[in-house]
Structure 1
Amino acid sequence: MKKEKILVAGATGYLGRHIVKELQFKGINFQVIARTSNKLKDLGLKKGQIIEAEVTKPNTLNGVMDQIDVVISTVGITRQKDGLTYMDVDYQANMNLLHEAKAAGVAKFIYVSVIGGDQMRHLKIMEAKEKFVDALTLSGLDYTIIRPNGFYSDMKDFLEMAKKGRVYLFGDGEFKLNPIHGADLAQAVADSIESDQKEIEIGGPDILTQNEIAALALRAWKRPLKISHIPNWVKRIFLSGLKIFTSSKTYGPFEFFLAMMARNNIAPRHGIHRLESFFMQEVDKLN
């Protein structure tokens, strides 16, 4: 690998932390942007590796990329907070990074989006993500867009239901997906620094139906196999009610999760971490 210097934005999040660990493992020269260094203390970063800045405030980014060759951004929000919207973060914050990258002469920008995002622009979160993807592809910079089809951390909803003894699914539970562990995805993100691929769809090693994921979650808790299937019309009424009576801050995460679970999401398989092992490890932590 060449001696590029990497800048990671979104390092305090689930995937960002795994990317930091992967870059450390590979011995790659990098820095991270963080609003505060407190959340990164346990990662063993050196003093000069942390740049305290806020990606939603472009004035704090001035000059931070002057010695940077490649930017990796996992910036985005699942559950909105601080009064910020998806457009504020998933789109505009990444645009702030992109503008600074272009001004500094950065060679490449790597952005982590979602599989099938272009077909789900009607969702608030995907509207913002894909608007940035559009801008990145037209920016003139070399780029790679990583499209995972769900993290293992997203599957914790199954574990939470299973702990209570029953998992509830909309529809027949036969849609398939192969979510990926953060460590495996981080490896692919690091490898993409030297890749010529413009878009990479990626998933984990196990292609499973929702019913099979539910069964793994119940087994991890040593619970009987109890799965209830809820008709899709109930989901439609539920989402309609949320949109009428709540803001996008509330219904956005539900809308996104339920849309992702209402289709097959199968990507090329990658990695060594199995979902069954992840569930068992999570249960061990909670016991």
Structure 2
Amino acid sequence: MKKETVVITGATGFIGGFLVEEALKRDMNIFCVVRKSSDLSRISLPGVRFLYFHPEDAIQLDAEMAQFSIEYGCPDYFIHNAGITKSVRTSDFDRVNAQHTARFAAGVAKHFSSLKRFVLMSSLAAQGPGNDQNLKPITISDYPIPNTLYGKSKLTAEKLLKQFTNIPWVILRPTGVYGPREHDYYLYLKSLTRGIEPVMGFKEQHLSFLYVTDLVQAVFLSLTEPVVGETFLLSDGNNYTGTEYGDIAREALNCKAIRVRIPLQVVRLISSLLEYTGRITKNTPTLNNDKFLSIKALNWTVDINETQMRLKYHPQVDLRTGLRLCVEWYRKNKWL
């Protein structure tokens, strides 16, 4: 039986590594789109081949995808997972998240005519936060109103992809994704181990989370379920308050921490200072002006009933279990 072929962008990142591992388990032919500067150590595995494509150059990318088609034929699946979540240059969001998506889609439409599925890794940020008055969970039928540059660029990417009517696309909008090797949530856990639980603002945030292996489950369901042309919200199926998040995290770490509430005005000032410093050092800080807009929003809860029904998606890992698994990995690998 002929192996199925998958092309994965963003394969060297946190989520990408897990996608590659799952594709290997499924005995697929795997091609990872990478940069020459990428750290390939995690995915340098038997059965994984690398493609040094250049999405920053539309003409070159078209030629590279044409050459792939000549050498290997049309892949079965294309998972576009590459993107950036933060940058000190605001123009980078549109350039990388939106325009690169459009260029890959153009190449797929032109050269991969028998592709079975194109999965776009978008984000709940493309939907935008829910109502902070009634705190109703976000649904896929809600009109998207992204409140960050990151979210707007992801929504633009979705719209650009939809223009290619001959591509069998599926769009996924996961909430915040965490798991082993993830860095931003790790910083929060590290702060707790030092005895400080930072809380932004004085109003309770309402949140949702997604463990990385549940996201991977959704991606591979998207490849095979009859859901072409649909968009799905993803979470672990539960919603949490910020206080619950802190309590569960401290329980996973088995530590005590003092809850320190930081006024939003102070968070905004710190975000601006860190972003200014980042422009000078050319290092993008985790906390920046765009991230502040996400922190300020009170409602990031999600209703995934439609996803569960249409995609046959059944998350396996709740926050308590997921954070325990994270802590085990971080400690085993000397991060904590």
TM range (shorter): 0.7 to 0.9
Matched, 1:258 2:292: yes
Assess if the C-alpha contact under 8 Å between 2:193 and 2:253 holds in 1: yes
**What is the CA distance between 1:231 and its match in structure 2?**
2.5
**What is the CA distance between 1:99 and its match in structure 2?**
1.2
Of 202-211 and 135-144, the range deviating more from structure 2: 202-211
**What is the CA distance between 1:81 and its match in structure 2?**
8.1
Of 16-25 and 275-284, the range deviating more from structure 2: 275-284
Task: Tell me the residue number matched to 1:131.
Answer: 156
Matched, 1:112 2:121: yes
Task: Tell me the residue number matched to 1:277.
Answer: 324
Tell me which protein shows more helix as a share of its residues. 1
Task: Tell me the residue number matched to 2:219.
Answer: 189
Assess if the C-alpha contact under 8 Å between 2:194 and 2:257 holds in 1: no
Assess if the C-alpha contact under 8 Å between 2:275 and 2:288 holds in 1: no
Q: How does 1:198-217 map to 2 (within 5 A)?
A: 198-204=230-236, 206-217=238-249
1:160-202: CA deviation from partner (whole Å, max 9, x where unpaired) = 2212211111124632323112222112101100133311111
Of 144-153 and 206-215, the range deviating more from structure 2: 206-215
Q: How high is the sequence identity, in percent, across the aligned residues? A: 20
Task: Tell me the residue number matched to 1:52.
Answer: 52
* Closer, same or farther: CA 171–241 of 1 in aligned 2, 3 Å: same
How far, CA to CA, are the matches of 2:48 and 2:258 in structure 1? 52
Task: Tell me the residue number matched to 2:210.
Answer: 180
Q: Equivalent of 2:80, from 62, 73, 96? A: 73
**What is the CA distance between 1:34 and its match in structure 2?**
1.3
How far, CA to CA, are the matches of 2:11 and 2:277 in structure 1? 34
Matched, 1:146 2:160: no
What are structure 1's unaligned runs of at least 5 residues?
none
Assess if the C-alpha contact under 8 Å between 1:149 and 1:202 holds in 2: yes
What are structure 2's unaligned runs of at least 5 residues?
129-144, 305-313
* Closer, same or farther: CA 11–101 of 1 in aligned 2, 3 Å: same
Assess if the C-alpha contact under 8 Å between 1:121 and 1:127 holds in 2: yes
How far, CA to CA, are the matches of 2:146 and 2:273 in structure 1? 21
1:134-174: CA deviation from partner (whole Å, max 9, x where unpaired) = 11122112211111101113422311221221111112463
How far, CA to CA, are the matches of 2:120 and 2:223 in structure 1? 11
Q: How does 1:19-98 map to 2 (within 5 A)?
A: 19-36=19-36, 39-43=39-43, 45-46=45-46, 49-58=49-58, 59-60=60-61, 61-63=64-66, 64-65=68-69, 66-80=73-87, 85-98=92-105
Which amino acid letter does the alignment assign opposite residue 156 of structure 2?
Answer: K
Q: How many residues get paired?
A: 287
Task: Tell me the residue number matched to 2:8.
Answer: 8
Which amino acid letter does the alignment assign opposite residue 89 of structure 1?
Answer: V
**What is the CA distance between 1:47 and its match in structure 2?**
6.4
How far, CA to CA, are the matches of 1:101 and 1:161 in structure 2? 44
